[in-house]
Amino acid sequence: MHFGIAFPSYIEAWRDCEIAEANGFSHGWFYDTQLLCSDVYATMALAAEHTTTMKLGTLVAIPSNRIAPVTASAVATLNVIAPGRIILGIGTGFTGRNTMGMPPLPVARMVEYIQQIRGLLAGEDVLYKEGKYERWIRLLTRDRAIGCINLDDPIEIHVAANAPKALAAAGEVGEGWITVGQGPEGIRLGAEAVRTAAEQSNRHFDGPGGRPYTTMLTTGCVLGAGEGVDSERVMRRVGAVVAVGAHAMWESGQGTRHNFGLSDAGTAETYGAYIEQYAAERGSPPDRRYLDVHEGHMIYLKKGEEAFVPPEMIPLLSLTGDPDTVLQRVRELADAGVDNLALQALPGSGREMIEEFGRHVIRRF
């Protein structure tokens, strides 16, 4: 198994990348969440400059954030700084679109976007459409000696997917599969769906049994002696990720499509009452409630939001526990087919998480 560190992109993340690389982390992953984070490609450029072996990828780029030629140019530029170390992870959008009150993109649009980028990175002419216009485009400055872009070293495209249509797309057009919040059985079922879709498209993956290279995003905290899951440190480290469940249930109560498959009327109502009070204290207009809900999404807890992080749910939704328990769960995920475990590091606590998992998990794995 490879171990990755995942960042809600912050511009100083390169400092944590340096430490992560020294502690056995092979990958750095960066969120494309424009209203919460630093620009993903600026953040990755600094990480590329300050690392030597670590592979760097988006987790994940969203097609609506940038047109295909802009994304192709961005990753090909990064490929100059870190040749052969760049991965383009692409999805239909979760946090980056939730924070704008927008639903995920149709899977078909993501597939078309990936096909355009793959063609551009291969140096091909690609048909680009904008309204009534259709024009052929290509990346024009291909000469490596000029130093603008690097199309010589490969850039893999990995597809984020949890739902059936997206899983099929990962098999049809991806070179790897990215998922989130899965247990071992979910990993097995998802990988099989991706593998089957690949076979139906006359494609195959190089993993055992033809399974895809699989990256799973999660977070966690290795407990110290006598430390409980309800400690302030644990809440600070993983609470914001667990609270995303309440965000999703609120979304479900609003009838939206970006609820990540989670639904609970009681939690939706309780969280709704909480967010109305939170918004009222700040004078937030009613038509911007989604902005209040997703403030701090996966990064920090708003005041009072810890009430939606039941301590008993923390070990279920994150890799939190004593060192032996965490190590055993990681081994179970590896046995299920996880090739890359991406652990979220937060601004201010990244070094602690890196050293903790490096000592208690990576060195003992």
One-letter amino acid for residue 323 of the chain = P
Residue 36 has pLDDT above 60, yes or no: yes
Q: Provide, rounded to the nearest whole percent, the portion of the chain with pLDDT above 90.
A: 92
Residue 55 has pLDDT above 90, yes or no: yes
Q: pLDDT band at 259, cuts 50/70/90?
A: low
Q: The tokens 């600070």 sit on which residue?
A: 236
How does DSSP assign 234-299, residue by residue?
HHHHHHHHHHHHHHHHHHHHTT-S-STT---HHHHHHHHHHHHHHHHHHT--GGGHHHHHTTTTTT
Residue 261 has pLDDT above 80, yes or no: no
Report d(CA 60, CA 163) in Å as an integer.
16
Report d(CA 252, CA 151) in Å as an integer.
43
pLDDT at 19: 96
Q: pLDDT band at 252, cuts 50/70/90?
A: confident
Q: pLDDT band at 181, cuts 50/70/90?
A: confident
pLDDT at 258: 62
For the chain, residues classed under CATH 3.20.20.30 are 2-223+318-364
- Give the DSSP H/E element, type plus range, for residue 214: strand 214-218
- Give residue-wise pLDDT tens across range 289-298: 999 999 999 9
* Token code pair at residue 89: 């992870």
Q: pLDDT band at 80, cuts 50/70/90?
A: very high
**pTM for this prediction:** 0.95
CA dihedral sign, ordered 79, 81, 83, 85: negative
Q: Quick one: CATH architecture of 2-223+318-364?
A: Alpha-Beta Barrel (3.20)
Q: Provide, rounded to the nearest whole percent, the portion of the chain with pLDDT above 70.
A: 99
Report d(CA 247, CA 294) in Å as an integer.
7
